[in-house]
Amino acid sequence: MVRPGSLGPPTTDRRGRWAQSPLALMDTTMDQLRTLIMVHEAGTALGAARILGREQSSVQKQIDTMNRNFRELCGEPLVLKQGRGKDVLFTGTGEALVELARGTLGDWLDGIHESRRRLGKTLMVGTTRFTLSYLAGAGERVAEDFRQRGIELKVGHVRTRDVLAKLRAKDVDLVCGSVVTRPDGDDELAAFDVMEWRRSGVSLLTNLSEAELPGPTAPTSALRTLPLVVSASGLMAGVLHTWFGGDYRGKLRIAAEIDTVNYGFELLRSGLLRGCMLVTKGVADAAGDPRVAYGRGLRAVELVNDTGPRLEVLLGAFTRRGERASYDPAHPLNLLWDSLAQENARWQREQRWPTAGLEPDPFELANSYDPSES
């Protein structure tokens, strides 16, 4: 019989294997595993100490202890010193155990977070750059309740291209942003609860003359011959990808690439380039008002689909389908969702654009087409 705490041959009985776990392994703490990972990341005990905000001697002591224990357990230490000022060398055992440590700590952190999420102690929310203000208004309504109940609300930036991906990966519980969808339904959205704030079609803003581009409408197939101002990625790049395929750049006349939508407006208004830029229909419609600065000198042309499916930009809030229903109505996810619905109702009551000739709503303008959000 193998004595408890000694290193014997593996047993197929899980309880027996756990009971016989070697003491040198049982003495290894989560903090030591974290230190091992940080030394691997930083290369030295000093670098790890700086990341952890600790003394170098404390980190070195932990590494020395793990070296001693795992030399006993495995037959070689985890790290070898290379000389003053040089990164430590991880042995084969060290490299293997660093990966085990990452998995162990990651699983524990994920498990703890999932428990806090289920119990409503932590709520992870993602927003695109221009929906942060929308979330802030809703957050004010629940802030005091969350504070009294000790609920931690964590907010992070999500790029437009990652809105749904972040939900699928369970990186967030709720996300505010925009997606490209179809008016007759979209299979991709079937996995999510959607609170629709607004929806808009796709149009062109152009400085081309009526002779060069007759209006007020144009078929999407005309994009093949028109000089286009495009972004490297983002929602409108997704629209072009859907209509013309992944190699759309080789099929279209790309007159200029832009980093921000505002630069695209300025470029067209300057007359240095004559061409067109894809925007939401709402932005294009507002450009016709002479009091809207960004649209001065530009003309809106509505796109009529003859190349691919009709596409729209949907702005709203998204959660994983069925998750809210599985929680109590007082769960923070449900409370914030209801608060966002109230914020949307308030906006709908107070918003006058574009009928009053105001500057465009920043959510419509930027989330519909902002390469920085890609």
pLDDT of residue 90: 94
From the candidate CATH numbers 2.40.50.140, 3.40.50.300, 3.40.50.1370, 3.40.190.290, the one assigned to the domain spanning 198-312: 3.40.190.290
153 touches 146 (CB < 8 A): yes
The CA distances from residue 84 to 18, 57, 61, 171, in Å, are: 40, 15, 17, 41
CB 306 within 8 A of CB 220: yes
Where are the CATH 3.40.190.10 domain residues in the chain?
120-195+316-350
> Would you call 131 exposed, middle or buried from its count of C-beta atoms within 10 A (0-12, 13-18, 19+)?
buried
Contact criterion met (CB below 8 Å) for 171 and 126: yes
How many angstroms separate the CA atoms of 323 and 334, rounded?
10
pLDDT (tens digit, 9 = 90+) per residue, 52-81?
A: 888 999 999 999 999 999 998 899 999 998
Q: Give tens-digit pLDDT for 141-157.
A: 999 999 999 988 889 98
Confidence of residue 22 (pLDDT cuts 50, 70, 90): confident
Domain with CATH 1.10.10.10 in the chain: 18-116
Q: What is the rounded average pLDDT for all residues in the chain?
A: 83
Residue 345: what pLDDT?
87
- Per-residue confidence (pLDDT) for residue 63, from 0 to 100: 93
The CATH class of 18-116 is: mainly alpha
- What stretch(es) of the chain map to CATH 3.40.190.290? 198-312
275 vs 267: CA distance, rounded Å: 10
Q: Does the CA dihedral 233-238-243-247 come out positive or negative?
A: positive
Mean pLDDT of 339-355: 74
Beta-strand runs (E) in the chain: 79-80, 89-90, 122-127, 152-157, 174-181, 192-200, 202-206, 217-219, 227-231, 253-258, 276-280, 299-304, 312-320
pTM: 0.65
* pLDDT over 80 at 358, yes or no: no
Residue at token pair 């091992």: 36
Contact 127, 154 (CB under 8 A): no
The CATH class, in words, for 120-195+316-350 is: alpha beta
> Given pLDDT bands bounded at 50, 70 and 90, which one contains residue 274?
very high
